[in-house]
């Protein structure tokens, strides 16, 4: 099979992949292909269809500045709404033949001699590609994490992960066990409590939860935002600055953290009257150490008659009987695993082979590292969006993705000036950037706060998912790059000889 040659191959058609496509088209680089394993664009918002799925970032900030949404129904967007938005963006960008759906990348290998990425795909229209540049826009919330629980396979009823929701399973009048109290579970529980006969919530660790404050926009408000682009821009700017202000409380500023902690505790006390239940729902670690959650209906659901809080982890399964770490038994008809994702160890990393036949997974064996949270030594002409140290706990991740895409386009302009057209990240540049990250993270709650979180790689204890700063700081850091992070092209044979 003859390989198709392109300048850029982008893997993934969620926010990151579309951001890269937009940036390339704006830069006049139209020779790219966008490879997506699923049947439509959408990424996380295509995969997660559980009841109550919604974003924790305000709708007018959670999107591309080039494509505002003046008609957003409410302060926060629902999952289906975001997916429809991404489908609309893809259509308006006229991606056409550049977008290859049902095309899963099975291998990507850097060919040193030819200076291209050789990419294998699977699917109804499987192709091979030769790409001068490879962009991994695969996301970090794509592969469910299934806990290693003794006897889990013996459960006789329906069991599924929250990101693989089985809508064919009837939940009305069922006894449901919901495992986990993270971001997905906090949204799922209130919905389950309205339909299931009873819900047992297994809580390994309580979360810090603050008021959500969601509300619909009135027709007049939507009309004003539609008719006045400046008003829409001002709203987006206000939401951005509010997000940046939240960084202080998440990152360990004493006064800001104490104020946010007091708000969260007041929220808990206002919604849960039972002192024993309140105590079980109160975190014993620093505010911000794990992802801070937003909800106005989780606590009332937990306190309701149709929910039992099991304040310890699910430890063992014996048929339909679920045993907690505290030794308590609970019976269930359905088990729903809201147990997160393989975020620290990205599944795609094992498929990508760089120089010396080393996989990205091997390079990241002690945790993800990079330069500029985007490029990796030993992997020429490779860009990773939404990967190492590019996530946020306080503002819109879309902002970070767009900064990375802009950096990649600038790097491609630098590549145009190189004799061999190859961007090779200097190993010492990656080491120095990693040291910057480690130093900035060292005193934050993510490292010192006394919790276990998905921001930190358990193999090394390093902060590998979050950027330990504001969006402004990330933008400024990338602005200081000048191409010196890339090694000069090696001299050709015979050049420089006496």
Task: Specify whether the CB–CB gap between 295 and 302 falls below 8 A.
Answer: no
Residue pLDDT, tens place only, 415-442: 999 999 999 999 999 999 999 999 999 9
pLDDT of residue 341: 87
Task: Work out the end-to-end distance of the chain between its first and last CA atoms, rounded to an integer number of angstroms.
Answer: 46
pLDDT per residue as tens, the chain (498 positions): 689 999 999 999 999 999 999 999 999 999 999 999 999 999 999 999 999 999 999 999 999 999 999 999 999 999 999 999 999 999 999 998 899 999 999 999 999 999 999 999 999 989 999 999 999 999 877 789 899 999 999 999 999 999 999 999 999 999 999 999 999 999 999 999 999 999 999 999 999 999 999 999 999 999 999 999 999 999 999 999 999 999 999 999 999 999 999 999 999 999 999 999 999 999 999 999 999 999 999 999 999 999 999 999 999 999 999 999 999 999 999 999 999 987 888 889 999 999 999 999 999 999 999 999 999 999 999 999 999 999 999 999 999 999 999 999 999 999 999 999 999 999 999 999 999 999 999 999 999 999 999 999 999 999 999 999 999 999 999 999 999 999 998 755 433 332
Continuous segment of H or E residues that includes residue 373: none
DSSP-derived 3-state class of residue 119: strand
Q: What are the DSSP E strand ranges found in 271-411?
A: 293-294, 307-310, 314-318, 321-324, 329-331, 334-337, 352-353, 382-384
**DSSP secondary structure of 209-264:** EE-----BPPHHHHHHHHH-HHHHHHHHHHHHHHHHHHHHHHHT-HHHHHHHHHHH
pLDDT computed for residue 342 by the predictor:
79
Cβ atoms 47, 165 nearer than 8 A: no
Burial status of residue 322 (CB atoms within 10 A of its CB: 0-12, 13-18, 19 or more) = buried
Closest CA to 58 of 247, 211, 212: 212
Give 355-388 pLDDT, tens digit per residue.
999 999 999 999 999 999 999 999 999 999 999 9
Q: What is the pLDDT of residue 491?
A: 58
In Å, the largest CA–CA distance within the chain is 87
Q: How confident is the prediction for the chain on average, in pLDDT?
A: 95
CA distance 355 to 252: 40
DSSP secondary structure of 263-298: HHHHHHHHH---HHHHHHTS-SS-TTSSPPEE-SSH
Domains in the chain, ordered, with CATH?
4-143+342-487 (3.50.50.60), 152-208+253-337 (3.50.50.60)
């Amino acid at each position: 099979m003859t390989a198709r040659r392109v300048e850029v191959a982008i893997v993934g058609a969620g926010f990151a992949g579309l951001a890269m496509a937009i940036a390339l088209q704006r830069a006049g680089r139209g020779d790219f292909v966008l490879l997506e394993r699923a049947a439509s664009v959408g990424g996380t918002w295509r995969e997660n269809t559980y009841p109550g799925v919604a974003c924790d970032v305000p709708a007018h900030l959670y999107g591309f500045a080039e494509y505002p949404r003046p008609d957003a129904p409410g302060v926060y967007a629902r999952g289906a709404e975001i997916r429809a938005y991404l489908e609309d963006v893809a259509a308006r960008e006229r991606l056409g033949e550049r977008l290859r759906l049902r095309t899963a990348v099975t291998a990507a290998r850097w060919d040193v001699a030819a200076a291209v990425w050789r990419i294998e795909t699977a699917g109804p229209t499987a192709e091979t590609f030769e790409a001068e540049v490879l962009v991994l826009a695969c996301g970090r919330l794509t592969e469910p994490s299934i806990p290693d629980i003794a006897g889990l396979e013996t459960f006789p009823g329906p069991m599924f992960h929250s990101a693989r929701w089985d809508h064919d399973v009837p939940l009305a009048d069922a006894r449901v066990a919901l495992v986990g109290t993270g971001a997905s579970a906090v949204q799922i529980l209130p919905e389950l409590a309205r339909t299931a006969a009873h819900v047992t919530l297994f809580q390994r660790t309580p979360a810090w939860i603050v008021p959500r404050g969601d509300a619909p926009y009135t027709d007049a408000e939507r009309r004003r935002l539609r008719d006045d682009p400046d008003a829409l821009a001002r709203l987006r700017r206000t939401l951005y600055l509010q997000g940046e202000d939240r960084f202080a409380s998440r990152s360990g500023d004493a006064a800001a953290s104490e104020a946010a902690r007091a708000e969260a505790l007041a929220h808990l006390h206002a919604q849960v009257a039972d002192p024993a239940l309140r105590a079980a729902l109160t975190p014993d670690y620093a505010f911000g150490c794990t992802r801070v959650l937003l909800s106005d209906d989780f606590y009332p659901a937990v306190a309701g008659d149709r929910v039992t809080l099991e304040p310890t982890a699910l430890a063992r399964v014996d048929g339909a009987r679920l045993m907690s770490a505290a030794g308590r038994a609970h019976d269930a008809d359905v088990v729903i695993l809201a147990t997160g994702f393989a975020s620290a160890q990205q599944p795609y990393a094992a498929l990508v082979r760089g120089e010396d036949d080393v996989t990205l997974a091997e390079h990241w064996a002690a945790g993800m590292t990079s330069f500029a949270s985007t490029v990796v030594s030993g992997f020429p002409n490779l860009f990773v969006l939404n990967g190492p140290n590019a996530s946020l706990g306080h503002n819109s991740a879309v902002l970070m993705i767009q900064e990375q895409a802009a950096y990649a386009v600038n790097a491609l302009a630098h590549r145009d000036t190189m004799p061999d057209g190859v961007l090779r990240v200097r190993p010492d540049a990656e080491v120095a950037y990693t040291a910057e990250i480690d130093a900035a993270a060292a005193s934050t709650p993510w490292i010192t706060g006394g919790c276990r979180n998905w921001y930190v790689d358990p193999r090394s204890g390093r902060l590998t998912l979050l950027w330990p700063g504001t969006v402004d700081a990330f933008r400024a850091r990338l602005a200081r790059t000048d191409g010196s992070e890339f090694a000069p092209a090696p001299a050709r044979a015979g050049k420089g000889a006496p």
